[in-house]
Each structure stands twice: as structure tokens, then as C-alpha cells.
Amino acid sequence: MHCVILRDDDTNGLTPVDCLERLYRPFLDRNLPVNLAVIPHVRTDVTMPDGQPEGFLAGNRGNRPPALTVGSNRELVDYLRANRGFNLAQHGYHHDYFEFDRSDRAEIGRRLDQGARLLSEAGFPAPQTFVAPYDRLSRVSLQEVARRFAVLSTGWFELRRLPLSWWPRYALKKMLKRPHWRIGRTLLLTHPGCLLSCDRPYRTMLAEIKAAVEARPLTVLVTHWWEYFRNQRPDPAFVNVLHQTADYLAQQPGLKVISFDDLLKDNLALI
């Protein structure tokens, strides 16, 4: 049995419902869970290192406050709650650049707790999974996330960033060549890069996804909803690759698509 967790990053208070519906209706209709990493209180002025606005601010038009909670977008909240195939993870707090690559323990804890509170106040279950913006966490952030969440989904782990008490378990993970591991009650998941990305060749994308899925018992597939709608316009070719991926995941024998919560309940043997 091979399992796949589909993780879509950057849903926030500016995300248009129509974008998620166009992308994920084929998944929802096949009962394939979609895990949305949601920014609880997105800053509306976040920029990339080159000064350009972040892509997840695609719905940012007109005068906006400095930050928006996900609960401020009632249409989005109602849509997500009405479609139970969506499962939510907490994606940072503001999604500032390298937001959790810091050492201020009090500020890290405040952002983690405030983010979880805002998701709960919007009417969602308390998040059990955390995704750090840009997959970057400091040693202190790793400790504070592990104290609060049952799952951490990220791209990779670096020895120099890990708490010293984690080093033996990390060494064992490396020796056994396992992509996923555990510290205490927290599952630590990695992914094989953003395979569903507009920066990759569309022609070979599905083949790369198949190879990744077949190579490990559990694969986290990462994508970003706004990459399919760059410059306020849909990219039909890229959307088609995503929908081909839904066909593959639904039809492949011996393959199951699960949520992060499913992993906690039923699939611990995959770690």
C-alpha cells in the first residue's frame, strides 16, 4: 500500500473560492481529501526578496488593512466548512518572510497560539498539523511546534537547526534512509520537493509524481493554489496536470489518498 497526502499551501483571507473550486472539485467528487495549509492572519504587504508581492496575495485589490484573518472571508469559511473533503493545517501566522526562522521563544509561541486560536474562532477544528512558511524553522521554532502539534510537514531537516536532544533520532532516520520520523508524539514529515509547480515542465510532471509516489510508502505532494492563477488568469495547461493527477490517484490500485488527520488515526505504520 502506498499513501499520498496532497498539501496545498497559502489559502488565506484573500483567496477566491472560485480558485479552490476549479482546482479541487475533481478531488472532492472522488472523495480524495485535500489538505489546505491556511495562513491564519495574512499580511497584505508581504513581498518576495525581489520586492514583488507574494503570489498568494492574488486577491488583494483596493485598500486593505495590513493583515486579514481567514475568518474575515465568510464566503471562504462557509465554502470550506460545506466541503468536508478539505482538511486544514496551520500555515504560519502572518506568513512573513522566514517567519519562523527566529529565536525569540515568546514571539514564536505567540504566533503559534494566536494562529490556532484564529482558525478555531473561524469555526474550524483545532489544527493538529503545522506547516512553516518557506519550510524554514529555527531550533526554537522546532521545539515550540513539537510542543503544540501532532504533525510537522516540511521540506527537509538540517542537523544544525535541530535541538540537540533530537540528534540521535535524526541520525537513525538518516541511517535508515527514512523520509519521515518522530519526536515524542510529533510526526515529522518531509516531501520530495514541490512536484506540482509552475516552475517545472508540465510534460513530465505527472511522470515525476508517479515515480515519487511509487518510491515510498507515504508521499506528501505539495502545491500552491495561486500558481495556477498567475497574473489573475488561470493556466489551463497546469490545471489540467493537477486534474490528471486526481485521475491517477483515484484509479491506481494499491494507492490511497489520506489527510494528515487520517495519518494520526490509522497509518502510523507508514512512519
- Cβ neighbours of residue 185 closer than 8 Å, sequence gap 6 or more: 150
For residue 181, what is the DSSP state? Answer: E
Residue type, 268: L
- The string of pLDDT tens digits covering residues 216-250 is 999 999 999 999 999 889 999 999 999 999 999 99
Q: What is the pLDDT of residue 268?
A: 54
Q: What is the pLDDT of residue 54?
A: 83
Q: What is the pLDDT of residue 52?
A: 79
Q: What is the pLDDT of residue 61?
A: 63
End-to-end CA distance of the chain: 13
Q: What does DSSP say about strands 255-257 and 186-189: parallel, antiparallel, or unpaired?
A: unpaired
Give dist(CA 202, CA 209) in Å, integer. Answer: 11
Reply yes or no on whether the pLDDT at 62 is more than 70: no
Class of 2-270 in CATH: alpha beta
Residue 8 phi, psi dihedral angles, 5° rounding:
-110, 120
Band of residue 40 on the pLDDT scale cut at 50, 70, 90 = very high
DSSP state string for 17-37: HHHHHHHHHHHHHTT--EEEE
Q: What does the block give as the cell for 29?
A: 467528487
Q: What is the pLDDT of residue 50?
A: 80
Q: What is the pLDDT of residue 25?
A: 98
Reply yes or no on whether the pLDDT at 198 is more than 80: yes
Give dist(CA 217, CA 271) in Å, integer. Answer: 8
Of the candidate ranges 55-64, 120-129, 172-181, 258-267, the one whose mean pLDDT is the lowest? 55-64
- The string of pLDDT tens digits covering residues 69-82 is 999 999 999 999 99
DSSP state string for 120-161: HHTTPPPP-EEE-GGG---HHHHHHHHHH-SEEE-S---GGG
Reply yes or no on whether the pLDDT at 269 is more than 60: no
Instruction: Give me the mean pLDDT over the 252-266 stretch.
Output: 93
DSSP state string for 46-65: -B-TTSPBPGGGTT--SS--
Burial call 2-16: b when 16+ CB within 10 Å, e when fewer: bbbbbbbbbbbbbbb
Give dist(CA 140, CA 100) in Å, integer. Answer: 9
Q: What does the block give as the cell for 147?
A: 510542543
Domains of the chain, by residue range, sit at 2-270
Express as a percent the part of the chain with pLDDT over 70: 97
- The string of pLDDT tens digits covering residues 128-144 is 999 999 999 999 999 99
Note whether 220 and 153 are within 8 A (CB): yes
Q: What is the pLDDT of residue 154?
A: 97
